[in-house]
Amino acid sequence: MSATTLPALIQRFFIDRLCVQMEASRHTVAGYRDTFRLLLRYASARHGKPPVKLTIEDIDADLVADFLVHTETARGNSARSRNIRLAAIRSFFRYVAMADPTWMLHCQRILAMPNKRYVKRAVTFLDGDEIAALLAAPDRSAWAGRRDHALLLLAVQTGLRASELVGLKCCDVVLGNGAHIRCMGKGRKERATPLRRETARLLAAWIGNDKDGNSPLFPSIRGERLSRDALEHLVRKHCLTAARACPSIGAKRVTPHTLRHSTAMDLLHHGVDPAVIALWLGHENVETTQIYIHADMRMKERALARVAAAPTPSGRFRPDDQLLAFLEGL
């Protein structure tokens, strides 16, 4: 296989570039892998030849543009997911341009493709009553219910990402004075998050004395680490139960990331500085935390209360011209 064929370049990109040089996380590698599986299948169907026979020339800017449209229309991906796919493709063609400069112009056309703009909606979060109903939902008389209750309590107190929650091991929980939990976040950045006393007590009881320190903190029934799909399923399941006691939670689309948003909003409502919230959540940039300020109606209402209303005369507008009166009456 030639070193500059498309299959060879893709293999070198994943092994040398992503895994060795960049030391990308397994989540990043999995995301890139899924993008290229979809892209190669699409290109294979377009050109009528198997993926191993495709060439760099086959994957041009026009095909990439059509593929991105396909992900939105045929697969129902959002504009944000479409942009993530494009970022993976761009990363590969930057590598191709470096590895074989003869393809520079070909790569530049793909690298020049813009991201698609999309509506950035306000974040969804749970209030205090909804969180209480969710935490009360698991049946703590059963092993799975005790696990789910401990997981949900830890999620709403720490704001850990879904990947961070399912990746926790028993040894990541530090109890005693200064109880905290360690996790490896995005970009391989390790951080420690303090635990409230009740959370620390619950985790101590959950771990007990029998568990191996390297075993998953929240295992499946088979003793393996929970998958992200399993985590999303248990959150949905307990939200349905919680909706019986708190109907408002049933009107929201609650995911594990919603619990992370709820943590941030709770910290913000208690007056915690956004820079501290960014450190708490593991945000690389404080600007990422601004989305919670935009969603905080309490802060906006307090600001509105400080502003005196401008004196305005009451009454309905009445035009002083016959033509304007005619138009007003239409």
- Using one digit for the tens of pLDDT, what is the confidence trace for 256-265? 999 999 999 9
**Residue 321 tokens, joined:** 């011209």
pLDDT of residue 2 exceeding 50: no
**Best mean pLDDT range from 77-81, 104-108, 304-308:** 104-108
User: Is 186 part of the annotated catalytic residue set?
Assistant: yes
pLDDT of residue 116 exceeding 80: yes
CA distance readout (Å), 115 to 79, 80, 225? 9, 9, 35
| Catalytic residue selected from 106, 147, 149, 161 | 161
> 157-171, 201-215, 294-308: which range is least confident on average?
294-308
Percent of the chain with pLDDT over 70: 93
Domains of the chain are 6-111 (1.10.150), 128-305 (1.10.443.10)
Tell me the chain's radius of gyration from C-alpha atoms: 26
Residue 256: which residues within 8 A CB-CB, separation 6 or more? 155, 161, 162, 165, 228, 231, 232, 235
Predicted confidence (pLDDT) per residue in 275-301, tens digit: 888 889 888 777 777 777 776 677 677
| Catalytic residue selected from 186, 225, 228, 269 | 186
Residue 113 identity: M
In this predicted structure, what is the pLDDT of residue 1? 39
| Catalytic residue selected from 211, 225, 228, 257 | 257
User: Is 17 part of the annotated catalytic residue set?
Assistant: no
**Taking the model in full, what pTM does it have?**
0.70
CB 143 within 8 Å of CB 210: no
| Catalytic residue selected from 17, 147, 260, 261 | 260
Query: What's the average model confidence in pLDDT over 115-133?
Result: 88
User: DSSP character for 193?
Assistant: E
Which residue in the block uniquely carries the two structure tokens 């016959």? 322
Model confidence at 176, pLDDT cuts 50, 70, 90, reads: confident
In this predicted structure, what is the pLDDT of residue 27? 80
CB atoms near residue 254 (< 10 Å): 25
pLDDT of residue 76 exceeding 60: yes
Q: How does the average pLDDT of the chain come out, rounded?
A: 88
User: Is 169 part of the annotated catalytic residue set?
Assistant: no
User: Is 121 part of the annotated catalytic residue set?
Assistant: no
User: Is 292 part of the annotated catalytic residue set?
Assistant: yes
Strand pairing report for 180-184 and 173-174: antiparallel
